[in-house]
Structure 1
């Protein structure tokens, strides 16, 4: 696949290998009570089909992993994993092989194995949990990443012989001004991003991949997301975040092939070439404070109008921002507004490809809505993209009064796998 819209729907089944015997034993032995489903409880058990075509299929195998420049689906289940102590290099490879075989089937709308949810022995646990039976592929994409802990653990130990393979781009994120990070929503050795147009399909994928990992990796934290807040294709309209504003108007889109090749895909000849770096940030919105703020102040903070999404300097949503230029109502864009500080002109041209989602995790002990934005950004190198942008936002952004960054993680996302290979095979040399 290329970085262009060639990452398009496909109905063609891709040949697949089976899940290993250990992977199937993991399915049988996993305790479902150990899965963290992002705090949504039973709210996700009903299938809520998005307006997009649920029969869409995106092939798992290809030059790049799907789920990056793929048109952003409506639903997300993101999971970060810790590798179980005692897991060997051979165990890790076997896990990636099992995940690859299962992911290929899941993205084609199939159970994780040929035996599936109902085809096995009556006295043994099924291979597949079965809640997605009868549902189409729903545009499911599964995107895998490696955290810093794959290369060395927290004590600096090279547990898999991969320390020398850590890419320079996979840096430890610094502490940013205003961070209020919670360990329960941060870090991870491995990650899986499941995006789909049906929440049940996305959750089913993470649930079964987690069962396959039993004994080798377990969920550290996970997040459910809904109502995408960014578009990765010019064919998609810009959606709104929970503050009611259009989000990600200037997002990189798949059609900008040259920009994607430069700013999203890692270049060079390393094992990560053709892959990307994913930064995940959980951003809680102080909803109650925002809801008591005047419309004029909200627009001043964001730098855009709430209705159309146009910059305060005038025009429509996609009109380029004009600094120090008064709009039709006489207002100018504040230089400490969110739009101004995040603008490429103030960040040496840096741009990100975003796949953000809204989230609501119930309420806190004070009765306030525990909700916000689950921010996902892909880039070739966070040292020249996310990090400098976030440093600037952290110090001066007017929006900081209304948000808190409570979760953070970074992952190296390898290029796509070829049929017959497992995801991330290049990392092992």
Structure 2
């Protein structure tokens, strides 16, 4: 018999990842000499620096040369935060933080410092005055492991957890959005408190893993004494397609999942399903979104001993092409009734969920083995939506109750964050509207 595990994650027909329509803004200042030296004299974007004072930020929705190949920078400033509808990068470092300071002014100061650092790192610059050349007695402003590396489409996206709004902490209890609910316990959940929750989160995505890790490391260093990392997750192998006509990446089970993601150029779908509108009661969230992060362990050894036909029945797709049951291509419109009632695709499709749609940015992970020698691997599920009460929660309840995939997976970590709108210009900062 298969080992029992519960709760499904990959919502096949819901979610997307492509390019954000962000607008590039100017940086606080031109990069210092030490920051430029960090590029090792290779001439990377030095012409752009000479002409405009910053590494060129490239839009990725219709470039002749794909941003993933160019190593270009994604614009940091814009109406929405980058890293949501932005074309999905190859690597992830996600971190949830506890705020350790009790001083509201210190928290605000930290968010301002983080914003300035994020501006520089996403543009390919070192933090502050760089990793070397300063006072020998003082720690450098930057840890240095990204020196000489391209921006690699680094995006940094911040979110605020429900606990940040607790009464008696920072005077934000009346500012908590109604949509920022505590997620319910779903059937089959086996959540580890040490891998769940958090006051703040930072999602770092890049095409170079060292660039993503460098970003989280430096933000954690800047926050020392005011924040502490609660938990973090490295991810590889994006599990969502980047454009509507791209091949969908495969998950750790070898299947394509989430083929019907929202396109980053589909502004109507993004406005309807992802971005918080102007009429929302939490006005400071206009242009923002809500993020659900779920660490989903896959029982790899059990799955690998399961017959091919059963595997395909579980997903409702063939393993070779990724086509729905009875269809030829992965993006062919599925005939849901041709699938088993417990098939993942059938249960996750918007037509089975009153049109509920989310935007996916999940990644695969492997974190060594457990005490029994089994691979600790699975899906780090990231989903953005306008309101979890109308999207993720009802969808997950349906999947948790009926999905055949539950036998092979289990949700072991969970968090929910309010992701504020983007930083408009060099005078703006992460969460400014919340604290105004």
Normalising to structure 2: TM-score of the pair?
Answer: 0.85
Q: What aligned pairs does 1:26-425 form with structure 2 within 5 A after superposition?
A: 52-84=68-100, 86-113=101-128, 115-152=129-166, 157-234=167-244, 236-269=246-279, 270-324=283-337, 332-419=338-425, 420-425=427-432
Structure 2: distance between partners of 1:56 and 1:169: 35
Residue 134 of structure 1 and its aligned partner are, at CA, apart by 0.2
Structure 1: distance between partners of 2:190 and 2:126: 40
Residue 178 of structure 1 and its aligned partner are, at CA, apart by 0.7
For residues 344-393 of structure 1, the C-alpha deviation after alignment (integer angstroms, 9 at most, x for no partner) is 01100011100000000000000000000000000000001000000000
Equivalent residue for 1:35? none
- Give ranges in structure 1 of 5+ residues lacking alignment: 19-49, 325-331
Confirm or deny that 1:428 pairs with 2:435: yes
SS in 1 for 2:336: coil
Equivalent residue for 1:14? 26
Moved more, 224-233 or 127-136: 224-233
Equivalent residue for 1:34? none
Flag the 1:139–1:81 CA change in 2: closer, same or farther, 3 A.
same
Residue 169 of structure 1 and its aligned partner are, at CA, apart by 1.0
Is the CA contact (8 Å cut-off) linking 2:19 and 2:87 kept in structure 1? no
Residue 17 of structure 1 and its aligned partner are, at CA, apart by 6.5
Is the CA contact (8 Å cut-off) linking 1:14 and 1:104 kept in structure 2? no
Is the CA contact (8 Å cut-off) linking 1:303 and 1:340 kept in structure 2? yes
For residues 390-418 of structure 1, the C-alpha deviation after alignment (integer angstroms, 9 at most, x for no partner) is 00000110000000000000000000012
Structure 2: distance between partners of 1:316 and 1:237: 11
Is the CA contact (8 Å cut-off) linking 1:231 and 1:253 kept in structure 2? no
What is the aligned length?
382
Equivalent residue for 2:33? none
Residue 251 of structure 1 and its aligned partner are, at CA, apart by 1.4
Is the CA contact (8 Å cut-off) linking 1:82 and 1:219 kept in structure 2? yes
Flag the 1:5–1:364 CA change in 2: closer, same or farther, 3 A.
closer
Is the CA contact (8 Å cut-off) linking 1:229 and 1:247 kept in structure 2? yes
Flag the 1:232–1:171 CA change in 2: closer, same or farther, 3 A.
farther
For residues 54-111 of structure 1, the C-alpha deviation after alignment (integer angstroms, 9 at most, x for no partner) is 5211111110000000000000000000000x43110110010000000000000011
Structure 1: distance between partners of 2:86 and 2:125: 20
Is the CA contact (8 Å cut-off) linking 2:160 and 2:418 kept in structure 1? yes
Structure 1: distance between partners of 2:77 and 2:245: 24
Is the CA contact (8 Å cut-off) linking 1:356 and 1:374 kept in structure 2? yes
Residue 150 of structure 1 and its aligned partner are, at CA, apart by 1.1
Structure 2: distance between partners of 1:5 and 1:51: 12
Structure 1: distance between partners of 2:130 and 2:216: 16
Is the CA contact (8 Å cut-off) linking 1:54 and 1:137 kept in structure 2? no
Structure 2: distance between partners of 1:213 and 1:236: 39
For residues 9-67 of structure 1, the C-alpha deviation after alignment (integer angstroms, 9 at most, x for no partner) is 98x6722279xxxxxxxxxxxxxxxxxxxxxxxxxxxxxxx992252111111100000
Is the CA contact (8 Å cut-off) linking 1:347 and 1:389 kept in structure 2? yes
SS in 1 for 2:217: helix
Is the CA contact (8 Å cut-off) linking 2:253 and 2:303 kept in structure 1? yes
SS in 2 for 1:53: helix
Flag the 1:384–1:9 CA change in 2: closer, same or farther, 3 A.
closer
SS in 2 for 1:290: helix
Give the RMSD, CA atoms, in angstroms.
1.9
- Give ranges in structure 2 of 5+ residues lacking alignment: 1-15, 31-65
